[in-house]
Structure 1
Amino acid sequence: MPDKPAAELVISEELVRRLVRAQAGAVPGAGNLSLAHVADGWDCSVWRLGQAWAVRLPRRALSAPLVLHEQDVLGPIAARLAVTGVGVPAPVVNGRPQLSFPWAWSIVPWFDGAAGLGIPRAERADWAAPLAAALIALHVPAPADHPVNPVRGVPLAHRDAGVAARLASLRGRISSAALARAEMLWATALAAPAWTDAPVWIHGDLHPANLIARGSALVAIIDFGDVTAGDPAYDLAVAWLAFDPVGRAEFIAATGERYDAATWTRAHGWAAAVALLLLDHSDDNPEYAALAAEALQELVR
């Protein structure tokens, strides 16, 4: 059965064009630029505007606050990551609701390149050092009024019941040995010391589909809708979600002494949890199902 939520209203080319013409004064000539639908994710519909921009609109009411979070915090985050050479789609237009569309929406930079999900793991190792540098730049203490996400970057104990439910759901559907490995890693991570420092900014949904590359170069990290603050281990799970053993070793080495052993143990557990989540909710997305199956193998390599 389909897992991706249905859109709660029709986002047509006519609608997007009307919003752009009414509110995109910060983008010269925006109303006359080409417009093409690119993709619909769980949360947002993305349209390419000309060659340099993208329009990002929530597909459902539950996603509307995520766009506001991006509008509120991505400017400073993009500035910090710019020195690492990795781009961030900080909004250049903070679109507001109008009669034909009830939620905030954004125009953001378009990054030429390919999503990492379609690039083989063995070809991603060159991204390891720049991604490590970008995350070190991202993972700085956040202000008290940071966007709150109830499931990203929280103490692992807060998600134990959810992970147990996914393990139960997947029994009989995938290899029992793979499930046992994931369960063991999660239990080990639960037992590790918790993050006790100040909450740091985290991306909150860091996997290959949200990494944009051009050739061997990592160009950008996209889709910050789940941006929040908490334990950086949640983002560091990308070591197993994105890389093979060679790339993972380079990624971990490139972080130097920034993260302690307990943080990496929690990251290993979070990678298992995310793989289980993707396996349990990717009936209508074979690419994510394949990512999850690969990640389960990488967890023990």
Structure 2
Amino acid sequence: MDADLVGRLVAAQFPQWADLPLKRVVPGGSDHAIFRLGTGLQVRLPRGDWSAGQADKDSRWLPRIAGRLPLAVPETVAVGEPEFGYPWRWSVTRWLAGEAARHDGLADPEATAVEVAGFLAALRGMPPAEELLPGPHDDLAAQELRARDASTRSAIEAVGDVFDRAALTAVWDAALGAPEWGHAPVWFHGDFHAGNLLTVGGRLSAVIDFGGLGLGDPACDLVIAYTLLGARARLVFREALGVDDATWARGRGWALSTGLNAFTSYAHVNPHVAEATTRQIAQALL
């Protein structure tokens, strides 16, 4: 997926943008290659089967939820078809200004904690999917923490020379032992970590990458408490969102599991991932 291929895709399917400059966004994402198109657009191309349905999912759901949320979200303006050997549907979306949020780049961490809690509260409070769009919604399937048990325990064994294996196991056991979500399903983002929030001048400006959007237990979105916030701001966030003990324990498990997965998969080849996931795991152990 180089600029030549993307340029041919754009020119063939959306000739109105054929003359706009095209520049790859580095590092991009783990699920999509991203190319900036002119000043106001970007092209997003799935990297594999696991993210191949996001162009359609985004175009279906984001217009229905955007106006209900207090931060900007991506806006799809076109969906492209497979061509020139590229096998998946891809999208053109509006360019959102900002940089990936960092725990050490926030203008006011505690105010940010309240703002993040407000975003999640608004997301959880949206109407059921059937009220927004009639029909079956297989693309909103809930994620199950317990389904990650084998891979998480394997990762714990693999990182025992870096982190405290007994402490990791204790956090994970507590997450799996916590009572399950006992309420009606609510909306969750599904991949709510610092890299999927944008900031301008240290203040939140947008939330991106809704490929994991779904309905069910919202504990998975508590990962943000460990990837973006420090200990004090994390307490502010929990109080502002009103998280009970069981959901907090499951959310801590999500933070540990996703951090371990990224650490064991990418840290040895990506210094940024190594730094971010090391912090994420350490925060989950506090």
TM-score range, shorter chain: 0.7 to 0.9
Equivalents in 2 of 1:132, 1:49: separation in Å? 33
Structure 2 match to 1:226: 212
Structure 1 match to 2:29: 41
1:186 aligns with 2:172: yes
Structure 2 match to 1:281: 265
Q: Which deviates the most, 219-228 or 43-52?
A: 219-228
Where does structure 1 lack aligned partners over 5 or more consecutive residues? 1-10
Q: Contact 2:187–2:213 at 8 Å: present in 1 too?
A: yes
CA shift digits 1:210-260 (9 cap, x unpaired): 1110013201111222323321100112111211113212222322x3x43
Q: Which amino acid aligns with 2:10?
A: V
4+ residue stretches of structure 1 with deviation over 4 A? Answer: 121-124
TM-score where L is the length of structure 2: 0.87
Structure 1 match to 2:139: 147
Structure 2 match to 1:205: 191
1:92 to 64, 77, 81: 77
Structure 2 match to 1:166: 155
Structure 2 match to 1:67: 55
Equivalents in 2 of 1:227, 1:167: separation in Å? 27
Q: Which amino acid aligns with 1:69?
A: K
Equivalents in 2 of 1:33, 1:120: separation in Å? 35
Equivalents in 2 of 1:254, 1:19: separation in Å? 45
Equivalents in 2 of 1:61, 1:263: separation in Å? 31
Does the C-alpha gap of structure 1 residues 57 and 289 become closer, same or farther in structure 2, counting only changes over 3 Å? same
Equivalents in 2 of 1:61, 1:192: separation in Å? 33
Please state how far the C-alpha of 1:200 moved relative to its aligned partner.
Answer: 2.4
Q: Which amino acid aligns with 2:39?
A: Q
Please state how far the C-alpha of 1:102 moved relative to its aligned partner.
Answer: 2.5
Equivalents in 1 of 2:122, 2:13: separation in Å? 32
- Quote the RMSD (CA, aligned, Å): 2.3
Length, aligned pairs only: 276
2:253 to 269, 274, 294: 269
* 3-state SS in 2 of match to 1:32: coil
* 3-state SS in 2 of match to 1:147: helix
* 3-state SS in 1 of match to 2:18: helix
Does the C-alpha gap of structure 1 residues 111 and 22 become closer, same or farther in structure 2, counting only changes over 3 Å? same
Identical amino acids, percent of aligned pairs: 35
Please state how far the C-alpha of 1:294 moved relative to its aligned partner.
Answer: 1.1
Q: Which amino acid aligns with 1:199?
A: P
Equivalents in 2 of 1:270, 1:287: separation in Å? 20
Structure 1 match to 2:133: none
Equivalents in 1 of 2:108, 2:9: separation in Å? 37
Please state how far the C-alpha of 1:209 moved relative to its aligned partner.
Answer: 1.2
Alignment of 1:101-112 (within 5 A): 101-112=86-97
CA shift digits 1:74-103 (9 cap, x unpaired): 22122221xx1x111131112222345321
